[in-house]
Structure 1
């Protein structure tokens, strides 16, 4: 529970063999769905500042805690978090509400799921909006293999896969500090340090920059991970090469209208300059912020999304 007057109480929905904790706004707008998909290590409350605005503009807003997060199911098998399962949950969520398709919005890992949903189930996505993470070209080699070659063993994607359980334990032992150190904006550039970045962050005594989220929202996220632990969310990373194989036969072109929003100060994720080759109907916007776009610049994010949706109608 969030104990926030301006954030809806959740319902638990049975879909695709799991139970998802789902937050809704604008149920009076049934028939015009928009589904908001969080990233890692996030929670549906990261969309709080968007939900009421989208509901006011006529949308039925659906924001699930995806599998592994919050009070949603946390399967024990790593392969239960592959892209077939994650996109299958969203398809089943549409079926639960009786929707043929919807607008999908994703941030970070949620964006990867939305891009993949448009490839694997294109008839269920009528428009898509992604924040931070652009479309990932599949390439000739599995993604973790490529990252290991280019970025080394300590790169967090590689570390999560090659040293299972190590980072999970450190993050679980330092949940509050890790979340508070992670959700920051205006972080000054610092030279790379040895070791795995997220483990270092979880153990850092002093955060850099400024808080990127309100104290009450942070408290919800911290409480959720103190209950769930981090392994479910990290298991999404542990399926990246499996996802590479599962997407082998998927149509690489995404033809639906798409909006890509980058944080211009987000040093963790570079822009994909060839995005339009794979997503020809894409519009690209950059905002003067870091990685936590919808939390750092909520009003600007809402304006960009609302104006783009208006132009699609």
Structure 2
């Protein structure tokens, strides 16, 4: 079945998902009972980064849900950085799936959402039908690149900067100029304004930065047996070719690598039709 992606209306519903950790905000499309797909956003975004994909997947007969993750959903915003360790983030994925009644599901992640996806697939392969990781490679591939590739070390300088106590002040100064520059003017200004507006709410940016501050770089997931697709843009300023091209070494199951020429880090919004088409093909 072919789908004219650009002609589809972007129709999604705002829902809330109640878990023991709190109530997550989410976007959804499709009918409960249809094949389930969970989509995870990265920093410094929100579930709306996946709005186009959620709408098209729902139109195609899937039950697609994109969730505002821990710290981004106002009702799930712990104060302590320790509450943003990766095991807590993986726990949120499973809790959301359980609340939706999903015993098995397809998992899609971008940026930090992809990192959570890799960890989820490694620790709980019995829950996932497929994994799609956009932009961020397997964390072990990234760790190796950080050790061995000087170019990747330069690309990743922001990781330590975001851990500094002054990060919030620097990112929000001058009408959040530095926060806006993260997107490199690659996505619509209206989307950037939405993200900036959310992160200027009290505590929101600190919660988002807690993902970096809680990270233990020596905690790496095992190789992944889940059928996996990794999508990477050749102009990604944060992820170089060393990490991207070596990612397959950490997948023992079926693996598909898609290189998007002349595209940067923000693929779901920068190339929405292309990413959606790849997703539809992979999920089928």
Q: TM-score, normalised by structure 1?
A: 0.77
1:120 is aligned to 2:117:
no
| 2:242 is aligned with 1:269 | no
Task: Tell whether the 8 Å contact from 2:37 to 2:107 is kept in structure 1 after alignment.
Answer: yes
* Bigger-Rg structure (1/2): 1
1:239 aligns with 2:214: yes
CA positional deviation for 1:177: 2.5
> Residues 51-200 of structure 1 correspond to what in structure 2 (within 5 A)?
51-137=54-140, 151=153, 155-161=157-163, 163=164, 165-174=165-174, 176-184=176-184
Report if the CA contact (8 A) 1:101-1:126 is conserved.
Answer: yes
For 1:36 and 1:173, the matched residues in 2 are separated by: 31
Q: 1:7 to 1:231 in 2, by over 3 A?
A: farther
* Higher mean displacement: 214-223 or 118-127: 214-223
Structure 1 equivalent of residue 279 of structure 2 = 305
Deviation at 1:159, TM superposition (A): 2.9
Q: How many Å apart are 1:58 and its aligned residue?
A: 1.3
Superposed CA offset, 1:102-150 (max 9, x none)? 1011101111000000112221111000111100218999x99999xx9
> What residue in structure 1 maps to residue 14 of structure 2?
10
Query: For the structure 1 residues 73 and 29, does the alpha-carbon distance in structure 2 shift closer, same or farther, using more than 3 Å as the test?
Result: closer
Question: Is 2:225 aligned against 1:255?
Answer: yes
The runs of at least 4 consecutive aligned structure 1 residues that moved more than 3 Å come to 5-9, 138-141, 143-147, 172-176
Is this contact kept in 2: 1:179–1:218, CA < 8 A? no
Partner of 2:4: none
CA distance in 1, matches of 2:74, 2:14: 9
Output the CA distance in 2 between the equivalents of 1:140 and 1:284: 19
Question: How many matched pairs?
Answer: 269
Q: Secondary structure at the match of 2:43?
A: coil
Seen in structure 2, the aligned counterparts of structure 1 residues 9 and 175 have a Cα distance that, compared at 3 Å, is farther
Q: 1:139 to 1:275 in 2, by over 3 A?
A: closer
Counterpart in the other structure of 1:223: 197
**Any gaps of 5 or more consecutive residues in structure 1?**
185-210
**Would you say the 8 A contact 1:12–1:19 is kept in 2?**
yes
In structure 2, C-alpha distance between the alignment counterparts of 1:119 and 1:231, rounded to whole Å? 28
Partners of 2:181 and 2:20 in 1: how far apart?
34
Match of 1:278 in 2: 250
Answer yes or no: is the 8 Å Cα contact 2:40–2:66 preserved in 1.
yes
Shift of 1:37: 0.4
How many Å apart are 1:309 and its aligned residue? 2.1
Secondary structure of the residue that 1:230 maps to in structure 2?
A: helix
